[in-house]
A = this chain, B = another copy of it.
Amino acid sequence: MAKQRIKKIAVLTGGGDCPGLNAVIRAVTKTAINRHKLDVWGVEDGYEGLIEDRIHPLSYNDVSNILTVGGTILGSSNTSNPFSYPVQSGKRVVNKDVSDDCIQNLEKRGIEALVCIGGDGTMCSAAAFAKKGLTIMGVPKTIDNDIWGTDITFGFNTAVTTATEAIDKVHTTASSHHRVMIVEVMGRYAGWIALHAGTAGGSDVILIPEIPYELDKIADFVRARSKKGKRFSIITVAEGAKPKGGKQVIFKKIKNSPDPVRLGGISFVLAEQIGQMTGLSCRAVNLGHVQRGGSPTPIDRVLGTNFGYHALELLMKGRVNRLVVWKDGKLDDVPLSRIAGKIKTVRKNDPLVAAAKAVGTSFGV
């Protein structure tokens, strides 16, 4: 009976930065100490700290005053995979499975369960650890809101809020100067941020990866507005948006260029293209990493608190190797093994897509 056995747990945060991570760490730690009298340990920098044995005790005071702080007090790493980790071998670097080392680093401290807070990549490794017998609780994390199995994730609302504020701001420039402003938001594979921030910001055009656009349609739409006396347009575009039949513009280095440059993002390409097609003045803004930062919104603090609390409740009931989720308006959970490799994208007939169209938004098709 797992329920009675567990005395000591560890928590780690993996993958990209996300507002609300500290809310989860705090809820996990406080619930563990307050309600279940557990010892809690923190793993530094995601799986990297698990591999390198950087694990330290977390006290009640360590997690005080962190609820409102962005980022993660534990640190994170984007790429470390314990089942294929680059190790120096003679003169070469080879990828090795170091998962047994990880388990040993936990066992030698008597740690019996690991709470993994992270995205798709983190959960793949977590599921693999569960298969090897480690007791795991997963907490989904992504500002992109594209994790399968949960209706919503913490960090998403903060990112949408930051993006909406930026759209609100460029609105005044657009209308004062009769310009087309193109705001690029995160979302490589899923257009949730663009759809929500674009709708909240009253964008005239929203472009998302799930609905490939036609340049002609965008130009026609912008021109038609201009004819009706609306001398400006706001376009919100997800970084992963792509033309019909075309491919994504990847953020890449350009060889043979006089300077070591990169593309500024799809928004800059669109500004050039739409400017040429319509003769209107177009400007691009790529919000980038600003969307990952800042103090979490109340929604994300509450959701992070709920997730952290629920993870501990399930763990102590012996319902383990699950991902905590928010489904149909309430806390729930799904098996870790079922979510790996899946992604939740915007359906073409999503009700919000329909609502956005009804209020006059074009999706470039």
Contacts and interface: CB of A to CB of B under 8 A. Distances in A.
A70 to B, nearest CB: 3
Contacts of A98: none
A157 interface: yes
Contacts of A284: 288
Interface string A295-314: 10111011001101110100
Given A78-B177, A268-B264, A358-B27, A17 B172 contact: yes
A202 to B, nearest CB: 4
B351 A177 contact: no
A259 B302 CA distance: 35
A89 interface: no
B294 A289 contact: no
Contacts of A308: 359
Interface stretch (A116-124, A127-135, A160-168, A338-346): A160-168
A65 B172 CA distance: 11
A336 B360 CA distance: 29
B262 A268 contact: yes
Interface stretch (A49-57, A106-114, A326-334): A326-334
Contacts of A162: 169
Nearest to A169: B293
A257 interface: yes
B358 A35 contact: yes
Contacts of A286: 264, 285-286, 288
Contact of A329 (B172, B312, B327): B327
A9 interface: no
A322 interface: no
B71 A173 contact: yes
Contacts of A201: 67-68, 298
Interface stretch (A192-200, A206-214, A216-224): A192-200
A87 interface: no
Contacts of A260: 269, 272-273, 276
A19 to B, nearest CB: 8
A68 B302 contact: no
Contacts of A76: 176-177
A196 B351 contact: no
Interface residues of A, number: 100
A358 B30 contact: yes
A94 interface: no
A263 interface: yes
Given A286-B286, A305-B356, A330-B351, A257 B259 contact: no
A253 interface: yes
Contact of A30 (B45, B269, B360): B360
B305 A359 contact: yes
Interface of A: 16-17, 19, 21, 26-27, 30-31, 34-35, 45, 65, 67-72, 75-78, 151, 157, 160-162, 164-166, 168-173, 175-178, 181, 196-197, 199-202, 249, 253-254, 257, 259-265, 268-269, 271-273, 276, 283-290, 292-295, 297-299, 301-302, 305-306, 308-310, 312, 327-331, 351-352, 354-356, 358-360
8 contacts: A17-B177, A34-B360, A254-B261, A260-B272, A261-B263, A306-B351, A309-B354, A328-B329
The 10 A-B pairs of least Cβ separation, nearest first, read A264-B264, A169-B293, A71-B172, A70-B172, A200-B298, A71-B176, A309-B355, A169-B294, A31-B358, A17-B173
